[in-house]
Amino acid sequence: MQTSRLDSANANAGIMFELNAIAAVVIGGTSLMGGAGSVMGTLGGALIISVLNNGLNLLNVNPNVQPLVLGAVIVLAVLLDQWKSDLGSRFKVWWERSPALVGAVTTILVVAVLGGAWHYRASQLEAAAGSKYQIAVVLKTLNNPFWVEMQEALEAKAPELDVSLIIQAPPQETDVERQTQIVENMISKKVDAIVLAPCGGKELVGVVKDANDAGIPVFIVDSKLDQEVVDSQGATFACFIGSDNYKGGQLAGERLAKELNGTGNVAILEGITGHESTDARRNGFRDALKAYPGIQVVASQPANADQEKAFAVTQNMFQADPDIQGLFACNDVMAMGAVRALEGMGRADVQVVGFDASDDGRAAIKKGSMLASVAQYPGEMGRVALMKAVEKLEGKEIETSIGTKVEVIDE
């Protein structure tokens, strides 16, 4: 039910709910080998999974690793069920006649897990205690080179500023629900400041207000929050640090128009609908092309900042209208999907412009499969955000908006 409700708004928002449900049913006694469970058993399994998820969050386990942990729990539950079935009556007799031994083994396992968790958490607290400030960084995902570069820059800068970092992100940029949970968890940890790259310009405003109420300053990077929603909810943020995405979109449009000599049909691979950064790039691109009446935008569809989605959308665009000479992808992840699709269709003649100038994008430019990409500097964004957070915590006056540069890379 929860998955269906979320999927009605966003096709990726229900990720992890299916896995949680499967784990709850299996742990509750329903073996995948053909056994039967019960409603009460499933409810008990759901409780166990909820406790496990909360524990993983409190221990700052990377969200990308958490599904693997749940998968391991499912496999273990099935193996235990099968083991019990294979042993048959001997296992049953031992189980019934040795309750003390069973209890002792269970207690040892629980104590070992809790002890390991406590030791892990204690080591984190000790590290944080030795630093001037503890700052949480919540990115959109760590499955994109752009965000990995920002993470690495933050981790390199933190020791210089005597800062302890907690860096987390949802598995996908569309996972607003998971990112909200991460921010809520950071608020409960009472971190000194939060650096946030919001997965949704409207959806994350509520949790930013929660941070305000807790006295935790919030610094927004890359994508702006919806100012109208910010004002209506009475939320505030200390500073925005990011590229001028609109200008970057204009640069992309001008470069593509120049290559097409001011004439031709072009397509756009948009990002996630409602994301300020990619929406601004699309708008800047379109506005730049207004100076070239010979160029028409004949297709513009979202590909959700996902390479496989971009691959499929590009194929559909060109099957519907093969008369397209240029394509703008609002990030390089989507550009890579477009390049693969075009190569598969034998359309190497199409000029592709991306955004981010990632390592893959630069390699494609050198290879000749991409015309250009608009470079922005995620490492610089991260470093500036961290420095401004420290300045704010030290009581200094800081700017409310800081722009980082964008430029076209075409060689």
Tens-digit pLDDT profile for residues 282-335 = 999 999 999 999 999 999 999 999 999 999 999 999 999 999 999 999 999 999
Out of 89-93, 131-135, 184-188, 337-341, least confident range: 89-93
**What's the CA gap between 2 and 5, in Å, rounded?**
5
279 falls within a domain: yes
Confirm if 164 and 127 have CB atoms less than 8 A apart. Answer: yes
User: Are 344 and 362 members of one domain?
Assistant: yes
Confirm if 303 and 309 have CB atoms less than 8 A apart. Answer: yes
**What pTM was estimated for this model as a whole?**
0.69
Q: Among 50, 80, 97, identify where a domain stops.
A: 97
Q: How confident is the model at residue 86 (pLDDT cuts 50, 70, 90)?
A: low
User: Are 271 and 365 members of one domain?
Assistant: yes
For 188-232, how does the pLDDT look when each residue is reduced to its tens digit (9 = 90+)? 999 999 999 999 999 999 999 999 999 999 999 999 999 999 999
User: Are 252 and 362 members of one domain?
Assistant: yes
410 falls within a domain: no
User: Are 239 and 250 members of one domain?
Assistant: no
**What's the CA gap between 104 and 102, in Å, rounded?**
5
Domain containing residue 143: CATH number: 3.40.50.2300
**What's the CA gap between 347 and 317, in Å, rounded?**
13
Classify the phi-psi angles of 188: left when phi > 0, otherwise alpha if psi is within -120 to 50, otherwise beta.
alpha
Q: Of 187, 191, 217, 201, which Cα lies nearest the Cα of 140?
A: 201
User: Are 238 and 384 members of one domain?
Assistant: yes
362 falls within a domain: yes
Taking the alpha carbons of 105, 106, 107, 109 in that order, is the dihedral positive or negative?
Answer: positive
User: Are 64 and 77 members of one domain?
Assistant: yes
Query: 351: part of which helix (H) or strand (E)?
Result: strand 351-356
User: Are 154 and 223 members of one domain?
Assistant: yes
Show contacts of 350-354: CB within 8 Å, 24+ apart: 350/324, 350/325, 350/326, 351/256, 351/259, 351/260, 351/325, 351/326, 351/327, 352/326, 352/327, 352/328, 353/252, 353/255, 353/256, 353/326, 353/327, 353/328, 353/329, 354/328, 354/329
User: Are 282 and 301 members of one domain?
Assistant: yes
The pLDDT of residue 356 is: 94
For 9-62, how does the pLDDT look when each residue is reduced to its tens digit (9 = 90+)? 344 444 455 666 776 666 666 655 555 666 666 777 677 776 776 666 556 565
Confirm if 245 and 278 have CB atoms less than 8 A apart. Answer: yes
Out of 32-36, 140-144, 275-279, 350-354, least confident range: 32-36
Mean per-residue pLDDT for 174-179? 93
Strands (E) across 139-270 are located at 163-168, 193-196, 218-221, 239-243, 264-270
How far, CA to CA in Å, does 215 sit from each of 192, 221, 398, 405? 9, 19, 17, 31
Give me the residues paired with residue 165 across strands: 135
How many domains would you assign to the chain?
A: 3
The pLDDT of residue 62 is: 59
User: Are 269 and 357 members of one domain?
Assistant: yes
220 falls within a domain: yes
The pLDDT of residue 98 is: 52
Calculate the CA 379 to chain-centre distance.
17
How many other CB atoms are found less than 10 A from the CB of residue 264? 20
360 falls within a domain: yes
The pLDDT of residue 71 is: 72
Mean pLDDT over each residue of the chain, to the nearest integer: 84
Mean per-residue pLDDT for 369-382? 96
Out of 143-147, 246-250, 265-269, 315-319, least confident range: 143-147
Question: Per-residue DSSP letters for 209-229?
Answer: HHHHHTT--EEEESS---HHH
104 falls within a domain: no
Q: Among 97, 119, 145, identify where a domain stops.
A: 97
Contacts for 97 with CB less than 8 Å, ≥ 6 apart: none
Strands (E) across 33-83 are located at none
Mean per-residue pLDDT for 252-279? 96
Confirm if 240 and 398 have CB atoms less than 8 A apart. Answer: no
Range of the domain at 29: 2-97
In three-state secondary structure terms, 328 is strand
98: DSSP letter: -
